[in-house]
Amino acid sequence: MMTHSFPLPAGSTIGILGGGQLGRMIAMAAAQLGYRCHIYAPESDSVAADVAAAFTCAAWDDAGALARFASDCDVVTYEFENVPVGPLLALAPGLLAPGTAALEVAQDRLNEKRFVTELGGAPAPFAAVDSADDLAAAVAAIGAPGILKTRREGYDGKGQWRIASAADALDEGVFATPLVYEGFVDFACEFSVILVRGRDGEVRFWDSTHNTHENGILAHSKLPAPQIVGEQLAAARELAQKVAEKLGYIGVLTCEFFATAGGPVFNEMAPRVHNSGHWTIEGAVTSQFENHVRAICGLPLGDCASVSQRIVMDNLIGEGALDIVRHLSDPRAHLHLYGKAEARAGRKMGHITRVG
């Protein structure tokens, strides 16, 4: 039966909305602490369900299935930010952590940028775009080159177009969905601030890695980060904590930044555990996945300190990612494969972390 008495005792059930690799790693961390997990996802080939105690495969708007799932759970969380908010409003108050407020902000890039600006953050210059005329006005005001993005959906480089002028986006199909135009940011490097906030309001941070992307997909996260990241970390952490506190957030929250000559520029937030924090499994005293479980279950938070200042996490993407023998020929490699059977171009199949 559902309970709202925290901390949750061992043997309680954590519901996870979404069936991908992030849910898989949350479930593995939860099992280590004695919890069972129930996965809810619309796709039948869930890699998270492979390591969970129960699995409900149903549409997000299947009210009956969602209610039965919720009745089996003592707390519910989510592993990605595009779970529709509407159906979640039927869940019992207090059951969902982090809650729907973070989803409502993160699911719309325009709302997200406005939200962060109100908190004193500095995103790239931006403008709403709903037509070719809007884009022309945005480019005139902000300048080019820039990035045209869908306001909703889109990840790992999808739903984004780098344009040198408004004419580059004259395909009328582009304007079938609400968009946002962002000015180009001249940055030294990219980094993320990953924090965990407990039910008592305590906030802890992991070290920030230098993140590099290839074809819009995170490829590597490394410690130590360049000096400029350290110089801008306090300001970036202050903003990330303001975001968490404004949202009444519980769990792991990620904010991505560009390190620039003028200070940290906010890129986007992810109300969940994050790819750039996978290194914490071996590289931190307490991983992002374990601390997310601790937070939503009302447990004391674990130490986020790094066990070494030389850590590299490499994503395994596309073909060749499942070559276990080759990966483990390096005795330092901590290999994590996500249980996906088919390797495709641009598909995250796993990661390797090397510590020290």
Write out pLDDT tens, residues 249-273: 999 999 999 999 999 999 999 999 9
pLDDT score for 1: 40
- For 13-96, CATH gives 3.40.50.20
> Per the annotation, does 40 bind a ligand?
no
> Per the annotation, does 232 bind a ligand?
no
> Per the annotation, does 249 bind a ligand?
no
pLDDT score for 112: 97
> Per the annotation, does 158 bind a ligand?
yes
- Distance, CA of 182 to CA of 148 (rounded, Å): 6
pLDDT score for 154: 65
Domain ranges of the chain: 13-96, 125-183, 189-355
Tell me phi and psi for residue 123, to 5 degrees. Answer: -80, 170
Token pair of 15 as six digits: 């519901």
SS3 state at 350? strand
**Span of 33-37, 44-48, 82-86, 161-165 with lowest mean pLDDT:** 161-165
Instruction: Answer yes or no: are the C-beta atoms of 180 and 126 closer than 8 Å.
Output: yes
> Per the annotation, does 268 bind a ligand?
yes
> Per the annotation, does 274 bind a ligand?
no
> Per the annotation, does 242 bind a ligand?
no
Please, which residues have CB within 8 angstroms of residue 180's CB and are 6 or more apart in sequence? 109, 110, 113, 126, 127, 128, 129, 148, 149, 151
First to last CA, the chain: 45
pLDDT band at 219 (very low <50, low <70, confident <90, very high): very high
- Distance, CA of 78 to CA of 66 (rounded, Å): 13
- Distance, CA of 311 to CA of 305 (rounded, Å): 13
> Per the annotation, does 246 bind a ligand?
no
Tell me phi and psi for residue 334, to 5 degrees. Answer: -100, 105
pLDDT score for 66: 98
SS3 state at 269? strand
Closest C-alpha to 298, from 24, 37, 5: 5
pLDDT score for 2: 46
Give tens-digit pLDDT for 259-313. 999 999 999 999 999 999 999 999 999 999 999 999 999 999 999 999 999 999 9
> Per the annotation, does 182 bind a ligand?
yes
- Distance, CA of 330 to CA of 186 (rounded, Å): 36
> Per the annotation, does 112 bind a ligand?
no
> Per the annotation, does 216 bind a ligand?
no
> Per the annotation, does 230 bind a ligand?
no
> Per the annotation, does 18 bind a ligand?
no
Give tens-digit pLDDT for 100-131. 999 999 999 999 999 999 999 999 999 999 98
| Percent of the chain's residues with pLDDT above 70 | 96
What is the CATH superfamily name and number for domain 189-355?
ATP-grasp fold, B domain (3.30.470.20)
Please, which residues have CB within 8 angstroms of residue 184's CB and are 6 or more apart in sequence? 124, 143, 144, 145, 146, 147
The structure's pTM equals 0.95
Strand order in the sheet with 36-41: 54-57, 36-41, 13-17, 75-78
> Per the annotation, does 351 bind a ligand?
no
Pairing type for strands 348-355 and 36-41 reads: unpaired
User: DSSP string of 20-65?
Assistant: SHHHHHHHHHHHHTT-EEEEEES-S--TTGGGSSEEEE--TT-HHH
- Distance, CA of 251 to CA of 103 (rounded, Å): 13
Q: What is the mean pLDDT of the chain?
A: 95
- For 125-183, CATH gives 3.30.1490.20
Tell me phi and psi for residue 226, to 5 degrees. Answer: -55, 160
> Per the annotation, does 291 bind a ligand?
no
> Per the annotation, does 190 bind a ligand?
yes
Helix and strand element counts for the chain (H, E): 10, 17
User: DSSP string of 58-111?
Assistant: --TT-HHHHHHHHHT-SEEEESSTTS-HHHHTTSPTT-BSS-HHHHHHHT-HHH
For 214, which DSSP code?
E
> Per the annotation, does 157 bind a ligand?
yes
Give tens-digit pLDDT for 89-105. 999 999 999 999 999 99
Burial of 120 (0-12, 13-18, 19+ CB in 10 A): exposed
Whether the domain at 13-96 and the domain at 125-183 fall into the same CATH topology: no
